[in-house]
Every structure is written in C-alpha cells, then in structure tokens.
C-alpha cells in the first residue's frame, strides 16, 4: 500500500479554476429543512447541488492519477484522456486536469455555474464541451474517466432517459423514471472506462449487498463525516471506484474507511484509454440530428393532392418547397410541456396543428365539410395548387350520416322506484336519508338532519332546486336520490323509457332493415318482439355491445347479426366450454347446414362459411406447434366481415392473448355480447367500447390507445390528453396509482375506490354503445319471465361458547393493532388482512383454526350451523330441491357430516372433492 498526500504531487497543473473558488453551491445557501415537506421544497430550490470539497476532490484525483499516467505513457505524444462530470457545477472534481493532457466535458442544470466553468476552461486552453442540461438529457460515450458527485435522491422523469438497471416505469412510459444518483452511476458506467463516484452511504451499501450485479466495482471507501458539513449538509457518503473490466472470478470488492486526513490512497490498478482509441461525445438526447425531414427536390410544381387513408388525411406533393410551406402552415408550433401538474400528451403527438390531419377530428365539428374547406383554404394560402380527391367529400358526407345514427342512444327502459326522482316531473318532497351538509365544500353550510323533508322543483336542465336556511341550492338527479328518499310527487314503481332509440329516430333506415331481415327469415327465429327490434337497432351501426341478460337469446342474436350484415364470412367467438351448446342452438335454427361450421382444424380456414364458430382458446393458439406466431387469428385477419364476441367483457383485459387475438382479426363490424359488460369496475367498459365503437373516433371519443377526441383539437392540440387520462379524471376515483397503471388502467399498482365519479356523464357516454336488456322489463317479460327471488334474513342468538371464542380473537386483534401503531412495519397490509380474516373465521366457522390466532374453539355446531342443518332437513322432507352455498369449503363439510348423522341424502361439492 502506498501513502499519498491529499494534493497530487505528479506534474501539478496551474490553478486554472481560481476565478471560481468564491462561488457557493445552491445547497450551501439553502435553509435547513425542518420537515419532509421542507426537504422536498429545499431540493426543488437547490437542485441537489453541493460542491465536492477540495480535499476530497484531490484525494479522488490521486486515486485515478495512476490510470491517467499509464494511459498517456502508453499512447505517446499528442493524445489526451477525455474526462466527464455529469453534474459538474463549477468543476471541483475536474480542477486538477491539465489542458495539455486532458479533455473536459460536463453538464449541469445551473446555467451560471456552467457558463463560468466553460469560460474558465476555455481561457485555460482546454478542449472542452459543457452544456446546461440535466443528466437525463444526455447519453454520453467515449470517455476515459468519469468523476461524478451527482445530486442525491432527486426523482428524474423524462422520456429521454436511457433504459438500464436504474430506470423504472414513469409518467412517460417504461424506463422514464429514475433516482438521480442511481441513474448517474448507470450513465457513467456506459460512458467511461473508469468511474469514481461520490454516493450516499446507504445506496453504496446496497451495491455491496449484491456485488455480482456490479462486476466492475473494485473498491468502496467510506468518507469522513466532515466532508459536506461546510456545504450545510450532514450526509454520510462513500466513494466508489469502477474499473474498465470486470473483477477476476472470486475477487472481492475492497472496502475501507478513510481517516479524517484522507491518507489512505492505494493503487487500484485502474486503466483507461485516450483519444487515440476514444471519440468522446455528450450526445444530447433532446437534440438529435436525424437529417432533413423533407428530402423532396424543389421543382416549382405547386400541385398538392389531398386524400385520406383510413382516418388519416394524406398530402401528396411534387415540390419540396411547397411541402415545407404547407406542412408548416398546417402543423404549426412544436408542442412543449404545459407545466400543468400531471398533464401529458398522447404518444406520437408533436405539433399544435396535428388534429387538422385527423378525419375524426373534422367529423366532431358542427359542419365537417366546412372544417375540411377551412383546411383547404389554409393549404391554398401557403401557395399550393390544391386538388382534393373527389371521393373525400363524399366519404365525409357518408360518415356524417352514419355518425348521426351512431350518436343516437339505443332504446333503453329503466325501473324507477317510487322513492327515486327521475326525468321531468313536478314538485317533489324528499326525506333526508342521513344527516348531511348541503354544500360540504363551503364553511358554514346549512345542515339537513336525517328524516327532514325538503321540497324540490325541477329546473328543466336535469337538476332540482330547493331552499334551505334562506338560501337556494341545486342538486343533480343522482345526488338527490343519494341524499333523499322521495315521499311525495312520484307514483309507484314503474318502468320508464329514457331513450326512444334508433328505430324511432330513423324510421326509413329501420324500415329498410326490417324488410331485409324479413326477407332473410330472421324474424322467424328472433320471433319475440324485442329480439328482432334489437337486431335491427344494433345493425344500424358497425359495432355495439348487446348487454342482454342470461336466457334472452344471445346465440340467436349472434347468428342474426352476421346474416343481416350481408357479409360472406362472419365469426362467432366464444369460450371452449360453450362450443357444444352453441352448435346445438345453431342446429335448431332454419339455417342450412352448409352455411355454418365450427372451426376445429386449419383445413376449416380454407373454406370459410357465412357463419363460423371458434373458441377463444383456438383463436389465439398456433396453427402448428413449430410456428407459434402463426395463429388462427392471424390466418383470419381481414377475412371477417362481421365479428361477434361472446362474453365480450373479456376485452377489458387489454394484455391477454384473447383480447390480442380479437384485435388481430381487424373485422369490419364488431359486436360484443355480455350480460355483464362493465366487469368489475366502471372503467372496464371503455376498453370494450374502443373495440366495438372505435378508438378515439367521433362516435366513441375516449381513446384507449389514442387521445381524447375533443372538437377543440381542430384549432390546437395544446390541451390534448390521452383518452385513458380523460376516463380516469372524469369517472374513476383513486387514492393513488403508479405511472404504469396510468398508461392503460390495467397493469400496475393502484388503490381504487369503487365509486363512479360522474354518473350522468357516464350514462351519456355508454348510452349509444350498449344495448341493455333485463328479464324484468315489460318488452321482455311478455315473452320470458324469471321468478323474482324472495329474500329473508333470519337473526339468531350467539351460543355462549362461540361468542366467548369470537371475543377472544377480536380482543387479540385489537391489542395487536394498537401495538402496531408505534411500529408501522409490524402492521403491513398483508399482515393486517390476515388478522382481519382470523376474526372473520372466528365468527363464521370457529372450527377452522387460523394461523394468526392462538385460540382453539372446543364447542360443537354453532347456532347458525344448527339452523342450516335443521332448515335443509325440513325443506328436503317437504320435497324441495335445495342448494346451500358457503364461503368456506370446511363449513360445507361440517354441514355435510351433520346431515349424514341425520340421514339426509346430499351431495357436497367443494374444490377439494365431490362427495355424495
């Protein structure tokens, strides 16, 4: 081991940085934070800038000096070693460099520091490149040594981050988030042969805990506590050294603790390269020269052709100059961050005028043809001789006619309870359900007590006016029903038609479809009134959700949708276990056997019929085991005219193979059948709507992969947001979400409150996409009736032994919970749920021993269990067939054994067994 003085003794360079020594770091000037909130505010103010003390900088330079000397001696005259500091400040870590031997580069977000450092280095004669950007905006390469003291624990969020071990899912997508010090290490290792890094002690120890993940780490030195005190920071740091090549197999990382005088300075045998082998570049990622955007030659021909490809308006040019003028006129300015917290732009959106080239944006305008003509005027004003494709205006007119139908809600009938306000009515009197404030957001708001009666009058705009405490207030219908029970002003429970539907709104179109359906004989097997009417209403558009309840005839509807569409090949997708049932149902219909088939082998794909049936399992599966990517869905792509997806609510899971297979088909008409179209959460519906109604179209404006289609996008996209963000903000209630979940509302962690934020807007968004039918509504009840079940609750007394056992478990939970208040680590979510479940088990099935409870129940059947056994025996004696459900399999087994003792014949079915 060699002992060295703190200041380098070999060829000391002149003090070229003397003009910068009086400058103080932002961190040393900031006030000490007094709380976590203050710490966050302080970091925003000082940007994590704390200059490296000269003594520590000198020691680091002495540690890397042997590598510098060896490299320069090896490569001869005329070469230099390129050095980089990715948070350079005023260059404390670069101060011992020599302009004849080293090149300098660095970045920092503090412009005054970078400007002063760059000027001092230039005057000293350095070849240097300094830039005022953050480390997240560069991707450096080609350096011999990186000496870094990065800001600690700053949260970086940028789409320009380079993916690596330090990056994670961020606001801009995968690998767009990182902690500053971790990302600085990742960046330096990619940029330089040798890295010397000043890092937080806690982070350094995490690297040491897994040295195999850091093969280039050769040494770690824990610095003295005094190092950053003159900067106003009491922080423990370590200096880590990374070599050019990985450690030898089995070699350990050297770990030492430095004394206050920094006398320990071993030679780590580091090596680096010079400019003979390196080409150092900062490579600012936000400024990438990809060459000219327009490469078309200037011909002087002003001809421009305007057409469309799908929803995209296309421009054809003959002259590069005219192309530049026209595109600049249309696209406008490049978008920059709005600065609004949480706002982000959809992927692919770059210019303020980009909405003008989306046909769907024009269709959202009051007059789509006038909007298109305004675009044509803009193009001509840019000097173009415009030729519009003759089919474009006709296509827009056709789409506008179709859009009027698509925006019309389906016929919908709802049950209005006698205690609920609904639709236009006269004065109502409501009785408050609970004690509540009239306006919770206003201090001193009047209070309405539970049971108090209030008079309401409709205002004609969907709200109800009322007066409390001498002041007037208004409530939306859903809020009135949530707070009050209507006692007078409504009649009795009644079914009310809230939307008359498309058959009434477009009688000529409906009549034409009716004649065609009758000619095909569809009214013969869709013989109930609502079945045939719904078929016609659904077929008036290219996609919708038929949310029929169980037993209303969805299989027949699926066949009718395909036949009425007139396509040569339609496809019904369903679960594998329903294939036989669907085959039986189709065989009953008056459809020739040669017109339908169940796809069971690749040969069936060669001769598609009018109606084809396939299971989701087969659709997503490979045709041949040797070619996994060649699936049934890929063979059927662009061959299906009408697609009917049974149990279509599965589309809410956007990352599954079934969903990908359905999208892969690219069918012209798409219908989803489901009795539960909303799945688990209200937000689930929008993934289904994007499939059936279009993704960010004029008819379905909430894009799941695109933007939220606002008419204002025709003027500017500056306020544009992704469709998923709009759904989340308008309808969903979260306590917190991860950035990964924000992207698609499917993957990633979140804490969601199952509460719909805006009921009236939600109903309006779904009304023209979902055709709902339930068995109880009058149109259905005339043909099909399901008995309404009677619900009765029986209250039983606790058995003393059972109650005592339950109280012991509950008291044990209370004591554990109160003890955990002092140490939150003992009360994590998993442990809390397990303890709560132990209390639940003690109440429902005390015979089951919980892992989280030390208590054992030694009683027999509980009062509830005895009641169930007696009740089942009585019902069976009376000749009834009975089904008894229970949450716990053990409880069913206990009841089953009791029935055996009573001689009652039964079948016990659990996940463990089926026992007769």
Q: Are the beta carbons of 683 and 728 closer than 8 angstroms?
A: yes
Question: How many CB atoms sit inside 10 A of residue 743's CB?
Answer: 21
Q: Which pair of tokens denotes residue 202?
A: 């806690």
- Helical spans, DSSP H, in 653-799: 657-665, 684-693, 723-731, 739-744, 759-767, 778-781
Query: Do 508-775 and 48-274 have the same topology in CATH?
Result: yes
Q: In angstroms, how far is the first alpha carbon of the chain from the final one?
A: 82
From 828, 830, 872, 834, select the one nearest 851 (Cα to Cα): 834
Q: Which pair of tokens denotes residue 453?
A: 């009666």
Q: Are the beta carbons of 165 and 213 closer than 8 angstroms?
A: yes
**Which pLDDT score is estimated for 589?**
92
**Which pLDDT score is estimated for 32?**
57
From 278, 305, 210, select the one nearest 71 (Cα to Cα): 278
Q: Are the beta carbons of 160 and 144 closer than 8 angstroms?
A: no
From 454, 507, 500, 502, select the one nearest 479 (Cα to Cα): 454
Task: Determine the 3-state secondary structure of 128 from DSSP.
Answer: strand
From 83, 68, 78, 121, select the one nearest 100 (Cα to Cα): 78
User: What is the rounded distance in angstroms from the CA atom of residue 460 to the CA atom of residue 452?
Assistant: 25
List the Cα angle 737/740/743 in 5-degree steps: 95
From 262, 216, 264, select the one nearest 240 (Cα to Cα): 216
Beta bridge partners of 284: 138
Q: Which pair of tokens denotes residue 206?
A: 């995490």
**Which pLDDT score is estimated for 36?**
43
- Write the CA distances from 323 to 359, 381, 913, integer angstroms: 20, 13, 73
Tokens 């019904």 belong to residue: 572
User: What is the rounded distance in angstroms from the CA atom of residue 565 to the CA atom of residue 542?
Assistant: 9
CATH 3.40.50.10810 applies to domain 508-775: yes
CATH 3.40.228.10 applies to domain 48-274: no
Q: Whats the size of the chain, residue-wise?
A: 916
CATH 3.30.300 applies to domain 415-494: no
Structural domain boundaries of the chain? Answer: 48-274, 303-407, 415-494, 508-775, 800-902
From 255, 258, 265, 268, select the one nearest 209 (Cα to Cα): 255
Backbone phi, then psi, for 145, in 5-degree steps? -135, 135
Q: Which pair of tokens denotes residue 349?
A: 């959106």
Q: Which pair of tokens denotes residue 500?
A: 């008359």
**Which pLDDT score is estimated for 653?**
86
Q: At what angle are helices 554-565 and 579-588 packed, to 10 degrees? A: 70
Backbone phi, then psi, for 12, in 5-degree steps? -60, 135
Q: Which pair of tokens denotes residue 374?
A: 């305004």
User: What is the rounded distance in angstroms from the CA atom of residue 537 to the CA atom of residue 671?
Assistant: 12
Q: Are the beta carbons of 85 and 102 closer than 8 angstroms?
A: no
Strands 173-179 and 254-257: unpaired
Q: Which pair of tokens denotes residue 643?
A: 């697609």
Long-range contacts, stretch 459-462, CB < 8 angstroms, 24+ apart: 460/424, 462/760
**Which pLDDT score is estimated for 423?**
63
Q: Are the beta carbons of 485 and 430 closer than 8 angstroms?
A: yes
List, in sequence order, every beta strand (DSSP E) within 52-209.
81-85, 102-107, 128-131, 143-148, 155-157, 167-170, 173-179, 192-200
Q: Are the beta carbons of 770 and 409 closer than 8 angstroms?
A: no
Sign of the dihedral defined by the CA atoms of residues 362, 367, 370, 374, in that order:
negative
Residues of the chain with pLDDT under 70: 1-13, 24-49, 229-234, 286-291, 338-339, 341, 418-425, 489-492, 735-737, 742, 744, 748-754, 820-829, 852, 911-916
User: What is the rounded distance in angstroms from the CA atom of residue 182 to the CA atom of residue 503?
Assistant: 63
User: What is the rounded distance in angstroms from the CA atom of residue 907 to the CA atom of residue 896?
Assistant: 8
**Which pLDDT score is estimated for 442?**
80
């Amino acid at each position: 081991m060699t002992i060295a003085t703190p200041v380098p003794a070999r060829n000391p360079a002149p003090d070229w940085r003397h003009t910068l020594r009086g400058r103080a770091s932002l961190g040393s000037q900031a006030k000490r934070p007094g709380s976590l909130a203050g710490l966050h505010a302080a970091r925003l103010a000082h940007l994590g800038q704390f200059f490296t003390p000269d003594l520590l900088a000198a020691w680091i330079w002495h540690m890397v000096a042997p590598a510098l000397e060896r490299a320069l001696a090896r490569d001869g005259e005329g070469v230099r070693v390129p050095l980089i500091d990715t948070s350079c400040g005023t260059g404390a870590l670069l101060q011992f460099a020599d302009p004849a031997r080293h090149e300098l580069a660095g970045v920092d977000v503090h412009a005054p520091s970078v400007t002063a450092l760059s000027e001092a280095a230039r005057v000293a004669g350095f070849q240097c490149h300094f830039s005022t950007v953050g480390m997240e905006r560069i991707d450096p390469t080609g350096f011999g040594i990186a000496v870094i003291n990065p800001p600690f624990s700053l949260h970086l969020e940028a789409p320009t981050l380079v993916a690596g071990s330090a990056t994670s899912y961020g606001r801009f997508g995968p690998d767009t988030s990182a902690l500053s010090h971790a990302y600085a290490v990742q960046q330096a290792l990619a940029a330089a042969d040798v890295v010397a890094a000043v890092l937080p002690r806690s982070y350094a120890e995490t690297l040491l805990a897994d040295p195999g993940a850091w093969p280039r780490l050769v040494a770690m030195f824990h610095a003295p506590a005094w190092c950053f005190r003159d900067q106003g920071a009491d922080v423990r740091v370590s200096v880590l050294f990374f070599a050019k090549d990985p450690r030898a197999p089995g070699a350990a990382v050297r770990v030492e603790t430095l004394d206050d005088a920094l006398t320990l300075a071993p030679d780590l045998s580091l090596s680096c390269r010079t400019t003979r082998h390196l080409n150092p570049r900062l490579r600012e990622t936000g400024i990438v020269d990809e060459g000219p955007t327009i490469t078309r030659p200037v011909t002087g021909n002003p001809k421009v052709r305007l057409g469309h490809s799908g929803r995209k308006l296309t421009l054809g040019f003959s002259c590069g100059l005219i192309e530049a003028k026209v595109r600049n006129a249309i696209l406008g300015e490049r978008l920059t961050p709005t600065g609004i917290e949480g706002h982000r732009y959809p992927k692919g959106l770059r210019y303020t005028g980009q909405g003008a080239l989306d046909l769907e944006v024009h269709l959202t305008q009051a007059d789509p043809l006038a909007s298109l003509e305004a675009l044509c005027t803009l193009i001509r004003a840019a000097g173009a001789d415009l030729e519009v494709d003759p089919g474009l205006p006709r296509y827009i007119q056709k789409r506008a006619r179709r859009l009027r139908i698509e925006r019309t809600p389906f016929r919908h009938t709802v049950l209005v309870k006698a205690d609920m306000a609904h639709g236009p009515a006269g004065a109502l009197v409501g009785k408050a359900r609970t004690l509540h404030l009239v306006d919770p957001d206003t201090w001193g708001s009047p209070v309405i007590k539970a049971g108090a009666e209030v008079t309401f009058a409709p205002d004609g705009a969907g709200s109800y006016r009322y007066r409390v405490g001498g002041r007037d207030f208004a409530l939306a219908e859903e809020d009135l029903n949530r707070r009050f029970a209507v006692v007078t002003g409504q009649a009795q429970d009644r079914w009310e038609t809230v939307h008359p539907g498309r058959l009434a709104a477009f009688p000529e179109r409906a009549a034409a479809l009716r004649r065609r359906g009758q000619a095909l004989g569809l009214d013969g097997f869709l013989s109930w009134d609502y079945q045939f009417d719904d078929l016609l209403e659904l077929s008036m558009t290219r996609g919708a959700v038929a949310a029929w309840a169980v037993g209303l005839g969805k299989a027949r509807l699926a066949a009718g949708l395909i036949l009425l569409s007139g396509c040569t090949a339609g496809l019904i997708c369903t679960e594998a276990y329903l294939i036989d049932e669907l085959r039986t149902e189709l065989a009953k219909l008056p459809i020739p056997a040669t017109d339908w088939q169940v796809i069971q082998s690749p040969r069936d794909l060669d001769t598609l019929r009018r109606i084809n049936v396939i299971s989701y399992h087969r659709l997503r599966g490979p045709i041949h085991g040797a070619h996994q990517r060649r699936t049934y869905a890929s063979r059927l792509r662009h061959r299906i005219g009408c697609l009917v997806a049974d149990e279509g609510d599965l589309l809410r899971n956007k990352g599954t193979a079934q969903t990908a297979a359905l999208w892969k088909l690219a069918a012209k008409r798409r219908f989803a059948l489901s009795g539960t179209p909303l799945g688990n959460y209200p937000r689930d519906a929008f993934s289904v709507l994007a499939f059936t109604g279009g993704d960010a179209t004029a008819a379905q404006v909430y894009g799941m992969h695109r933007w939220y289609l606002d008419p204002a996008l025709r003027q500017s996209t500056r306020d544009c947001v992704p469709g998923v963000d709009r759904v989340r903000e308008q309808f969903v209630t979260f306590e917190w979400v991860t950035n990964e979940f924000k992207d698609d509302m499917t993957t990633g962690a979140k804490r969601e409150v199952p509460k719909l934020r805006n009921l009236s807007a939600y109903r309006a968004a779904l009304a023209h996409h979902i055709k709902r039918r339930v068995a109880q509504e009058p149109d259905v009840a005339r043909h099909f009736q399901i008995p309404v079940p009677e619900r009765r609750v029986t209250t039983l007394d606790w058995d003393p032994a059972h109650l005592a056992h339950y109280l012991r478990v509950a008291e044990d939970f209370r004591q554990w919970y109160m003890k955990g208040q002092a140490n939150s680590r003992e009360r994590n979510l998993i442990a809390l749920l397990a303890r709560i479940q132990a209390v639940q088990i003690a109440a429902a099935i005390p015979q089951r021993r919980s892992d989280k409870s030390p208590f054992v129940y030694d009683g027999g059947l509980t009062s509830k269990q005895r009641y169930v056994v007696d009740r089942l025996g009585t019902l069976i004696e009376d000749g009834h067939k009975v089904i008894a459900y229970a949450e716990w399999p053990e409880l069913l087994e206990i009841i089953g054994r009791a029935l055996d003792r009573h001689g009652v014949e039964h079948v016990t079915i659990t996940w463990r067994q089926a026992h007769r």
